[in-house]
């Protein structure tokens, strides 16, 4: 399970969701423009781009390209 923080206008956010769906991997998606606590966390951590992807255990994966690499690692 992955936790994705993104925005509705982000093409890489859409690509991230499609990638996980194509692999049958569950995820939660939070639109930071509609969730003030998520936006506060985003700013606190100094993130400047979306998506930002985390595992359920809290491990920060990074963005779309980082997730692609993460999923291809055996």
Distances from the Cα of 21 to the Cαs of 28, 39, 44, 50, 61, in angstroms? 11, 25, 29, 18, 17
Angle at 28 between CA 17 and CA 72, to 5 degrees: 50
Query: What residue numbers bound the domain in which 41 lies?
Result: 2-72
Tens of pLDDT, residue by residue over 3-59, are: 999 999 999 999 999 999 999 999 999 999 999 999 999 999 999 999 999 999 999
Nearest Cα neighbor of 53 from 45, 61, 43, 44 is 61
d(CA 5, CA 29): 6
Neighbours of 37 (CB within 10 A): 9
Give the CATH number for residue 44.
3.40.30.10
pTM of the model: 0.92
> What is the model's pLDDT at position 1?
95
Count of domains forming the chain: 1
> What is the model's pLDDT at position 46?
95
Instruction: Say whether pLDDT at 74 is over 80.
Output: no
> What is the model's pLDDT at position 73?
82
């Amino acid at each position: 399970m992955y936790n994705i923080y993104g925005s509705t206008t982000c093409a890489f956010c859409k690509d991230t969701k499609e990638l996980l769906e194509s692999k049958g991997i569950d995820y939660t998606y939070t639109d930071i423009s509609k969730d003030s606590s998520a936006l506060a966390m985003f700013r606190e951590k100094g993130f400047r781009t979306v998506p930002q992807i985390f595992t359920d255990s809290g491990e920060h994966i990074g963005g779309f390209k980082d997730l692609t690499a993460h999923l291809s690692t055996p």
